[in-house]
């Protein structure tokens, strides 16, 4: 009689992590979702409030049309199908910063469903990437809801014994974007969040600012033996406040669950919090302590109808999205995909770049200039692209001057330094100067006298016999050395095109 072989013990590599993300995004409407209070971050506590958002007896919600349009625009940008009819529902639970004792949300009929985002990965990777290095992450749903207020536990006189409540945030319009459990690692989650945030920023419906809480993320993490269809028991990691921490928290949680199972334990369904200082997750509440939210349709609001006509109106406001824009910019300006990636990091940056690229003779040079000369200086000065002292007309002008050989790269750098002079230290609004004004004033002298240049080239060649030998032995890259020496000797003022020509001729 044959004995049954004991199945080989599982190892870490036999487990597959499964991750789904829930992202909350605050919408940048002028007023709150159900009342006309200002939707504004940073006001004095409890100043943007009224009977409706305070949950006063008898008050009723009235839906903000703009919030619907923003939510639908985000949904369309995420390739979701917007439902013609969706239903608001009450999510009931007690919390001091939830004035009505329920949150108005959407439950079984959300605003939008069935969307996706393509994220970059290594081609044909083990977690479902295609040959082009793209993986499609499904979006289950996008629904609308109101934000709650804030409980403040410290920072005031009697905070040891009391909690203060600020209800300014109550009623801020939110969309919750729920992904399919398609993610397989913290890195993929990071990539998904980056793309998601980028798309949301392009639509302009949110500032996506994680520090101010306008973008928040919860992660559902489970592991299962490879090949098993059924999902493992999940843990929900709540409110992690940066994409980097989401990646770390997920990586930690995957390890924790695998270790637990390998050690003979079982994962319990629970809510966990990530402690970024310690780099680990902690149990917050178990399934038994979980709320029964007793969802039911909100009787104070009619079903939300976004009909075909309204959807078309909203869709017409959909901007070109980052992925499409990158592809077009590569084709239109002949820049690299990497350049396009950097230059589309925000819609404003891309807009600014394109305005300069269109005005200049060589868009590729503009791309290099913006990345190489402008962005670093802006960062050092703490400025956004739209605050740049060098306007896009200035960028185009400077690119053309270099292109035509009228100034050297070194001179351009010096001129940009003058444009930015004092801006970094400025607290009282020193704006710097635009390129055209600085150029007109400084008019850097370029050495274009061929006799003088030939003389300097001869001196450099005489002083560098070893390098000449190397060059003549076939090391043509030595060319750059000679050009560099000439530029150094002329303090960067020699016309680079002429220097190249003369050096080549003399050595050849």
Write out the residues near another protein by the rule CB under 8 A.
Answer: 51, 54-63, 90, 92, 94, 96, 99-102, 165, 292, 294-296, 299-302
* Shortest distance (Å) from residue 18 CB to another protein: 24
* Choice between 58 and 508, CB closer to another protein: 58
Q: Which two tokens stand for residue 402?
A: 């270099």
Angle at which helices 450-463 and 479-489 pack, to 10 degrees? 120
165 vs 507, beta carbon nearer another protein: 165
From the CB of 66, what's the least distance to another protein, in Å? 15
Closer by beta carbon to another protein, 62 or else 126: 62
Shortest Cβ distance from residue 234 to another protein (Å)?
18
Give me the least distance between CB of 34 and another protein, in Å please. Answer: 9
For residue 374, give the DSSP letter: I
Q: How far is the CB of 306 from another protein (least distance, A)?
A: 16
C-alpha 36, offset from chain centre: 30
CB closer to another protein out of 302 and 327? 302
Please report how close the Cβ of residue 93 comes to another protein at its closest, in angstroms. Answer: 9
Classify strands 134-146 and 112-120 as parallel, antiparallel or unpaired.
Answer: antiparallel
H helix or E strand, kind and range, residue 200 = helix 186-203
Of the pair 170, 344, the CB lying nearest another protein is at: 170
Distances in whole angstroms, Cα of residue 351 to Cα of each of 202, 237, 378, 393, 458? 11, 37, 16, 13, 47
Beta carbons of 189 and 197 less than 8 angstroms apart: no
Strand partners, 241: none
> For another protein, which is the closer residue by CB, 303 or 376?
303
Closest CA to 420 of 430, 406, 428, 410: 430
In the complex, the smallest distance separating the C-beta of residue 301 from another protein, rounded to whole angstroms, is: 5
* Phi, psi angles (nearest 5°) of residue 478: -65, -15
Tokens linked to 107: 């439950």
Pick 225 or 303: Cβ nearer another protein = 303
Positive or negative, the Cα torsion across 387, 388, 389, 390? negative
Count how many Cα atoms sit within 13 Å of the Cα of residue 495 in the half-sphere of its side chain: 18
Terminal-residue alpha carbon distance, the chain: 88
């Amino acid at each position: 009689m044959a004995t049954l072989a004991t199945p080989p013990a599982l190892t870490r590599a036999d487990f597959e992590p499964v991750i789904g993300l829930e992202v909350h995004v605050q919408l940048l409407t002028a007023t709150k979702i159900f009342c006309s209070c200002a939707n504004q971050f940073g006001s004095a506590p409890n100043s943007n409030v009224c009977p409706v958002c305070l949950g006063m007896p008898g008050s009723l919600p009235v839906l903000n049309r703009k919030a619907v349009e923003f939510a639908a625009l985000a949904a369309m940008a995420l390739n979701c199908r917007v439902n013609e009819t969706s239903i608001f529902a009450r999510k009931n639970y007690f919390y001091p910063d939830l004035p009505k004792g329920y949150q108005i949300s959407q439950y079984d009929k959300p605003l939008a469903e069935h969307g996706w985002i393509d994220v970059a990965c290594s081609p044909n990777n083990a977690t479902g990437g295609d040959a082009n290095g793209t993986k499609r992450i499904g979006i289950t749903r996008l629904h609308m809801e109101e934000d709650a207020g804030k409980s403040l536990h410290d920072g005031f006189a009697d905070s040891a014994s009391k909690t203060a409540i600020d209800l300014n945030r109550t009623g801020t319009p939110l969309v919750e974007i729920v992904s399919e459990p398609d993610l397989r690692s913290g890195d993929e989650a990071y990539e998904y969040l980056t793309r998601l945030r980028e798309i949301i920023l392009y639509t302009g419906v949110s500032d996506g600012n994680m520090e101010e809480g306008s973008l928040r993320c919860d992660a559902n993490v489970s592991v299962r033996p490879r090949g098993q269809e059924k999902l493992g028991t999940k843990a929900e990691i709540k409110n992690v406040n940066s994409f980097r921490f989401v990646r770390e928290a997920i990586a930690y949680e995957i390890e924790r669950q695998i270790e637990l199972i390998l050690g003979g334990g079982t994962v319990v369904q629970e809510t966990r919090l990530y402690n970024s200082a310690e780099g680990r997750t902690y149990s917050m509440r178990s399934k038994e302590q979980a709320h029964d939210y007793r969802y039911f349709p909100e009787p104070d609001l009619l079903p939300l109808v976004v009909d075909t006509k309204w959807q078309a109106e909203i869709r017409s406001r959909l901007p070109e999205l980052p992925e499409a824009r990158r592809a077009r910019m590569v084709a239109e300006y002949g820049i690299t995909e990497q350049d396009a990636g950097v230059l589309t990091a925000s819609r404003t940056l891309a807009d600014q770049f394109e305005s300069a690229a269109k005005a200049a003779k060589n868009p590729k040079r503009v791309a290099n200039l913006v990345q190489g000369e402008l962005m670093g200086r802006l960062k050092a000065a703490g400025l956004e692209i739209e605050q740049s002292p060098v306007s896009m007309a200035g960028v185009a002008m400077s690119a053309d001057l270099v292109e035509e050989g009228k100034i050297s790269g070194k001179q351009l750098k010096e001129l940009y330094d003058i444009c930015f002079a004092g801006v970094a230290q400025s607290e009282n609004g020193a704006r710097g100067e635009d390129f055209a004004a600085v150029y007109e004033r400084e008019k850097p002298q370029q050495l274009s006298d061929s006799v003088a240049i030939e003389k300097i080239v001869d001196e450099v060649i005489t002083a560098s016999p070893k390098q000449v030998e190397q060059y003549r032995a076939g090391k043509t890259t030595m060319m750059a050395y000679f050009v560099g020496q000439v530029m150094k000797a002329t303090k960067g003022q020699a016309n680079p095109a002429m220097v190249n020509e003369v050096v080549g001729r003399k050595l050849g």
